[in-house]
Amino acid sequence: MEENAIDLFDYYRVIWKRKILIIVITLVCIGIGVGVRAMNSKSELILPVTYRSDVVVKIGKKIALETPSSGIPPTLTLVELPGVLEETIPLKYGMRGEKDSVYHFEVKAIDELSILKLSLEGPDREVEGVLKEIVDTLIDDHHRDAEISFALYESFIGKLEVDAKMLQKDIAVNEAVIVKLKKREVEMSKVRKNTQKGFGASSYYSRGQFNNLDMLYLEIIGREKELSQYLSRLRKVQLHLLLHKSAMDRYKKYSTEMVGKIMVTAVEPKKKKKGSSIIVHGIAGLIMSLFIAFFMEYIQESKSKRKGK
């Protein structure tokens, strides 16, 4: 205990003896730290502000015609899957961001929704214009793909309309023929009655007229049956037209578009905490000054011992 106390006292004695040296070296290191801090502050002021533009885009849909002749309204499918667009948009639409290394382009799909978040970072506010060009190009491409699917669907609707007009013509022709045949039936019935009065029901002329009347009657039945089939087909086509036209009007509302506006924010460069380098230099100076002080004391004691011998 006494030896430890003596050693501790010796340390204090050395520190007190070399206090000026310790203070001077520590202050010099702190001064170096202040100089380094000032140089770093100047370099940090030169760092440019980064601008970031963000926008949310909703992916539109197109018409999928698998079995158009079935009469079932078509299904809607996304123009492109968000997971695929997450990879392809930077390659296909981000050419400017790839050319200029000052821009950083990023696309991220939002959960399982058909929504993408596009972000572009750069040294100036031009990031807003560049991002708008990319989004406009994407929207135009998707609109074109959707319009192609709509055009195919519209051609199918046009075919149905042509079929409906042809059926209406056939129905009109059949109705006119049936009217004529029925008039003829009435006339032949009158003639047959007059013949029966003059020659008798079993006469040769009466039997011939009866056969002709039966054939006319059968022809009328055949025409009416054919008319019924035409009417049934026309009703079916008209129902399909009604379903498909209403579906077309509804489907055109689903298109790729921006959700909201492009947002631009200025991202300040991260600055180091002031005083951290000063403290480090101060501690380093204190440690170094203590080492020098004890080293000088060790050399002095060694010289004293050699003289004493």
Residue spans of the domains in the chain: they are: 2-47+269-308, 50-267
Interval 244-283: pLDDT, tens: 777 777 776 788 889 889 998 887 766 555 556 678 877 8
User: What DSSP assignment string belongs to the chain?
Assistant: -HHHHHHHHHHHHHHHHTHHHHHHHHHHHHHHHHHHHHHHHHHHHHSPPEEEEEEEEE--EEEE-S-GGG-PPPEEEESS-HHHHHHHHHHHT-HHHHHSTT-EEEEEE-TTSSEEEEEEEESSTHHHHHHHHHHHHHHHHHHHHHHHHHHHHHHHHHHHHHHHHHHHHHHHHHHHHHHHHHHHHHHHHHHHHHHHHHH-TTSHHHHHHHHHHHHHHHHHHHHHHHHHHHHHHHHHHHHHHHHHHHHHHHHTT---EEEEEEEEEEEPPP-PPTTHHHHHHHHHHHHHHHHHHHHHHHHHHHHHHHHH-
pLDDT tens, position by position, 148-158 = 888 877 888 88
**pLDDT value for 98:** 47
- Domain range 50-267, CATH class: alpha beta
pLDDT digit string, tens, across residues 115-143: 999 998 888 888 888 889 889 989 999 88
User: At which residue do the structure tokens 């200025």 appear?
Assistant: 266
Q: C-alpha angle 292/295/300, rounded to 5°?
A: 125
Question: Is residue 240 scored above 70 in pLDDT?
Answer: yes
Cα 257 from Cα 140, distance rounded (Å): 10
| Pairwise CA distance, residues 56 & 146, whole Å | 20
pLDDT 10s digits, 158-175: 888 898 999 999 999 989
CA separation for the pair 264, 131 (Å, rounded):
10
**DSSP string across 244-270:** HHHHHHHHTT---EEEEEEEEEEEPPP
Tell me what pLDDT residue 208 has.
55
Q: Which one, of 270, 267, 256, 257, lies nearest residue 104 by Cα?
A: 267
Sheet holding 104-109, edge to edge: 104-109, 115-122, 50-58, 257-267
More confident call, 232 vs 101: 232
Retrieve residue 174's tokens.
């059949």
C-alpha gyration radius of the chain? 49
- At 298, list the tokens: 């060790």
pTM above 0.95, yes or no: no
Rounded to the nearest integer, the mean pLDDT of the chain is 77
Sign of CA dihedral 69, 70, 71, 73: negative
Give mean pLDDT, residues 26-45.
72
Those residues with Cβ within 8 angstroms of residue 130's Cβ, 6 or more apart along the chain or in another chain: 53, 96, 97, 103, 120, 122
